[in-house]
Amino acid sequence: MVLLNEGRMFECSYPGSISNLLGRHSLLLMKGVLHKRMHSLTMSFANSSIIRDHLLVDIDRLVRFNLAGWKDRVLLIEEAKKITFELTVKQLMSFDPGEWTDGVRKEYVLVIEGFFSLPFPLLSSTYRRAIRARTKVAEALSLVVRRRRAENRPGTTKNKDMLGALLDAEGGFSDEQIVDFLLALLVAGYETTSTIMTLAVKYLTETPQALAQLKEEHDRIRASKSHPYDLSWDDYKSMSFTQCVVNETLRYANIIGGVFRRTTTDIDIKGYRIPKGWRVFASFRAVHLNPEYFKDARSFNPWRWQSNSGMSTTGQVFTPFGGGTRLCPGYELARVEISVFLHRLLTTFSWVPAEDDKLVFFPTTRTQKRYPIHLCRHDPVNDVDQKQSSSE
């Protein structure tokens, strides 16, 4: 009810401290007609055909490029974050990994820390540092936007990326609008996708039967190829057990535990009245871990998605990507990124946890020690040569 009545009975509502970090033109904060327009523009840049025809190759190459540099011990969450950041930058403005991306990521990590700190500038040095870092990231992005605007004359060859689409959009957007928009997209896809990648590996490691079955699926794809190879859309579509693992990780980990809304009118629900103007938290975690909907809900069971036997109905109760007009525009992209990552990891390495590591759920879902693992490389043929220099 909450998700499907956005704009009618509920509207999204974030505290001012978060809005300052996101920027007022971020998609997450927009409302009404402008939100609709920007949401569909974002969707058009992360839909299945764009991923199939353009992004999949970039995702696959970037993952291989990163895995090629791994030593025998890594902090998995840090590596996954590096990969997802580089992927988003590539998708947004076509930059390959390099100095520019590394420099911006350093500042950007400080911005993210600000989301989970005390939002009072006088009390929290983390929050003050986050605001300063946000300014630096915004400056770096502004420079890119200005340059691209200058190059973006009729008759010149254009990059078919998100920035290009924003610059060409009918009605036009100001530099400030574009920067806020890009920055929010970096926020939305970074922690979420990289945490799911890491937790999928952790849960699989703790469920050897699922790991074995998944490895079989990926070894089969690998065996059908000559080497080295790029993954195709058909390969991705054939990863059926992988999708079960991704779904189950999303359900079980609940990295977005729920969403905040504000009521725009008095609402009567199940005998209670929620007055107009109240804040509501729609908890996905409470639903995803409810045994009424998911049998044996507190165990990691990817097979429940094979037969749909381990749950009643999914439509309304499985909402890791939200729903309604604010449905996550990156839902398919995230799935592809995670699947490709798992393919390359499973066909290149075996691993064991380097230390005991515990999951914590506050202020975000993550592991305490960033999931350190020892790796054993089996297959150097998956490595890829990738142009290392950035476009900037």
Binding site for ligand HEM (CB under 6 A): 12, 27-28, 39, 42, 46, 185, 188-189, 192-193, 196, 255-256, 259, 320-322, 326, 328-330, 333-334
CB atoms within 10 A of CB 159: 16
Please say which residue, 117 or 249, places its beta carbon nearer to ligand HEM. Answer: 249
Closer CB to ligand HEM, residue 31 or residue 147?
A: 31
* For ligand HEM, the closer CB: 27 or 77: 27
CA distances from 39 to 49, 188, 330, 355, 375 (A): 17, 13, 11, 42, 40
Q: How far is the CB of 298 from ligand HEM (least distance, A)?
A: 19
Least distance CB 76 / ligand HEM (angstroms)? 16
**Crossing angle (nearest 10°) for helices 125-151 and 99-115:** 140
Concatenated DSSP letters of 49-92: HHIIIIIHHHHHHHHHHHHHT--SEEEHHHHHHHHHHHHHHHHH
User: Min. distance of Cβ 81 from ligand HEM in angstroms?
Assistant: 13
Nearest distance from residue 236's CB to ligand HEM, in Å?
Answer: 15
As a whole number of angstroms, the distance between CA 244 and CA 17 comes to: 37
Helix orientation angle between 240-253 and 208-223, rounded to the nearest 10 degrees:
140
Other C-beta atoms lying within 10 Å of the C-beta of residue 269? 11
Least Cβ distance, residue 27 to ligand HEM (angstroms): 5
Residue nearest to ligand HEM (CB): 330
Continuous H helices in the chain: 16-22, 32-44, 48-50, 56-68, 76-93, 99-115, 125-151, 162-168, 175-205, 208-223, 233-237, 240-253, 284-288, 304-307, 331-348
- Our CB check for ligand HEM shows the closer of 37 and 129 to be 37
Q: Which is nearer to ligand HEM, 39 or 128 (CB)?
A: 39
| First vs last C-alpha separation in the chain | 46
Task: Specify the residue, 328 or 340, whose C-beta has the smaller distance to ligand HEM.
Answer: 328
One-letter amino acid for residue 296 of the chain = D
* Cβ neighbours for 192, distance < 8 A, ≥ 6 positions apart: 255, 256, 334
Closer CB to ligand HEM, 258 or 375, in the complex: 258
Provide, rounded to whole angstroms, the least separation between the CB of residue 352 and ligand HEM: 25
**In the complex, what is the shortest distance from the CB of residue 28 to ligand HEM, in angstroms, rounded to a whole number?**
5
- Give CA angle at 185 (334, 284), nearest 5°: 55
Question: Beta partners for 22?
Answer: none
Query: Considering the complex, what minimum distance in angstroms separates the CB of residue 65 from ligand HEM?
Result: 19
Using the minimum distance from each CB to ligand HEM, give the nearer residue, 120 or 281. 281
